[in-house]
Amino acid sequence: MADSFSFEAIGTSWRVDSRAPLLPRQRTELLQLAEEYDTLYSRFRQDSGVTALAESGGHLPLPRHGAALGALMRTLHDLTGGGVTPLVGERLAAQGYDADYSFVPTAPPSPSRAWDDLLDWTTDGVTLAEPALLDVGAAGKGQLVDLMVESLVAAGHQDVIVDASGDMRRVGDGSITVALEHPYDASSAIGTVGLGSGALCASASNRRTWGDGLHHVLDARTGRCVDTVVASWVLAEDAMTADGLCTALFVADPVELAGSFDFDYVLMYSDGRARFSTPLAGALFS
Amino acid sequence: MTSTGQTETPSTTLAPRTAFPLHKRVLTALAAVSILGAAGCAGAEAESPASGSPAAEAPTGATTTAPTSTEEPATAAPSGSAAANDPAPTAAAASDQTYTDGTYTQTGSYQSPAGPEEVGVTITLEADVVTAVEVEPMPDNPTTTMYQERFAGGISDAIVGKKLDELAVDKVAGSSLTSGGFNEATGKIKSEAQI
């Protein structure tokens, strides 16, 4: 890769590699995309749209990409019987994963509030019947990866990777080899996969942990942390879908998702076993 | 159409497939792919011009591929369990067909995390085209059904892993770098907590 651009955005490290030079205005646009996205959705910022909704409810207008995110969240919500929902935000915060990173649970685990009673996500934006803290972490980072890739492709880049600390999307000929980081040992990998043009996302529950068995992946149906699945990886066409499926795989069987999405996956359970879709049978070390 | 009753009612043999629950259709599609793979190869070896492309289209179930041969000899209803991979020689010699029409059932076994388990696969062949596939789990214990639904992929033993520095990779997909804000905050707590 001829040119590389690293930066911090939405609370994580990003790295963009491209065969062609990444021009200053293109770099600026990437940072702007991240800033706009963060301003809409971050529940860790006082000035974000999501924070305003949490304080007073009402309507938050969203740009065009908001409709795609809402549609995906709704599909995942329906396929997981409510296990995935943006309304998990207030439950995460109540478990201590809040804007101040207090890491002190303030309420016992409880199911997220029901989508239909509270939340209307249309092509125009989000409307809340009453205040609620939303969290689009299930697929938001992936969508921002997509927006950056699309921006770079529109600027003429034909061989480019956007990597948001393990959630990545690539455009280009051939393929690269990506290691699947061992969830219990960051210096090891459980396998490798090839990434051509498409997205690979990863999610693991063991990194963002606090307190007694608390981490950032909740089953919204119970409000409790998922402890059977410890990590998931998904290969899909776009990063928003791959990211969302990574989250959904913590609370749903892959077979339940296979009818609605075209993807490959690896799941790792807390006992160290792994499950995988057939095309990835050779990807894991055994 | 003188040989078997099944060839005259392809649509009824297809109909139940569309009503399958989703997970079952996934399994069915997989079974159809593997079985058709075998049928397609055998058909090509026999240089049967009609057998290749209809067979490839059959598993989609979108259209009913009607049998085209009208000359298949009246043979006994096949019952051999390996029939799908074992063309009936009389049928192949007497017509364009490689396989005798009929319904074939094969039982397979595999090693599940719950122990050895069996699964039954039934296919219906008409004019060398698979017109119906059914996969029937045969669970011996309560956990088996769950594992058989995972047929779409596989389950490994406990993964040991390899050291990253022993691998030639371009990228790493994981969570070790996730959420700078989170790591910063936990780091701060650690330092504040230090005496």
- Is the domain of B144 the same as that of B169? no
- Is the domain of B96 the same as that of B32? yes
- Is the domain of B25 the same as that of B82? yes
Residue A98 phi/psi, 5-degree rounding, is -115, 180
Contact between residue A18 and residue A149 where contact means Cβ atoms under 8 Å apart: no
Examine residue A253 and state whether it is found in any structural domain, yes or no: yes
- Is the domain of B48 the same as that of B97? yes
Residue A239 phi/psi, 5-degree rounding, is -75, -30
- Is the domain of B78 the same as that of B171? no
Interaxial angle between packed helices A239-248 and A140-154, expressed in degrees from 0 to 180 and rounded to the nearest 10: 170
Quick one: tokens of A164?
Answer: 């948001």
The CA distance from B152 to A275, in Å, is 10
Examine residue A224 and state whether it is found in any structural domain, yes or no: yes
Q: What CATH number did the domain enclosing A265 receive?
A: 3.10.520.10
Q: Do B175 and A177 touch (CB under 8 A)?
A: no
Chain A positions in Cβ-Cβ contact with residue B173 (cut-off 8 Å): 166-168, 178-181, 200-202, 233
Examine residue A263 and state whether it is found in any structural domain, yes or no: yes
Quick one: tokens of B149?
Answer: 């639904």
Boundaries of domain holding B86: 6-152
Scanning the structure block, which residue is given the tokens 């994580």? A12
Select the more confidently predicted residue: A40 or B95.
Answer: A40
Q: By C-alpha distance, which of A126, A137, A120 is closest to A53?
A: A126
- Is the domain of B179 the same as that of B127? no
- Is the domain of B187 the same as that of B124? no
**How many domains, chain A?**
1
Q: Is A99 exposed, middle or buried (0-12, 13-18, 19+ CB in 10 A)?
A: middle
- Is the domain of B123 the same as that of B58? yes
**How many domains, chain B?**
2
Chain B positions in Cβ-Cβ contact with residue A163 (cut-off 8 Å): 171
Q: Is A234 exposed, middle or buried (0-12, 13-18, 19+ CB in 10 A)?
A: buried
Q: Do B153 and A280 touch (CB under 8 A)?
A: yes
Q: Do A204 and B174 touch (CB under 8 A)?
A: yes
Using alpha carbons only, give the angle B188, B194, B195 rounded to the nearest 5 degrees.
150
Examine residue B1 and state whether it is found in any structural domain, yes or no: no
Examine residue B158 and state whether it is found in any structural domain, yes or no: no
- Is the domain of B129 the same as that of B183? no
One-letter amino acid identity for A279?
P
Examine residue A192 and state whether it is found in any structural domain, yes or no: yes
Q: By C-alpha distance, which of A138, A151, A143, A152 is closest to A66?
A: A143
Examine residue B82 and state whether it is found in any structural domain, yes or no: yes
Examine residue A46 and state whether it is found in any structural domain, yes or no: no
The CA distance from B135 to B60, in Å, is 16
Boundaries of domain holding A237: 166-280
Q: Do B174 and A231 touch (CB under 8 A)?
A: yes
Mean pLDDT of chain A: 88
Examine residue B30 and state whether it is found in any structural domain, yes or no: yes
Q: pLDDT tens per residue, chain B (195 residues)?
A: 333 333 333 333 333 333 333 333 333 333 333 333 333 333 333 333 333 333 333 333 333 333 333 343 443 334 444 334 444 434 334 456 777 777 776 666 555 545 555 555 666 667 766 666 555 555 444 444 444 444 345 666 667 777 777 777 788 887 654 444 444 544 544 444 444
Quick one: tokens of B175?
Answer: 């969570």
CA B100 vs CA A253, B124, B127: distances in Å: 39, 10, 8
Q: Do B164 and A258 touch (CB under 8 A)?
A: no
pLDDT(A138) > 80 = yes
Examine residue A67 and state whether it is found in any structural domain, yes or no: no
Closest chain A C-alpha to B155 CA, distance in angstroms:
4
List pLDDT tens digits, range A51-107: 999 999 999 999 999 999 999 999 999 999 998 999 887 877 777 677 776 667 777
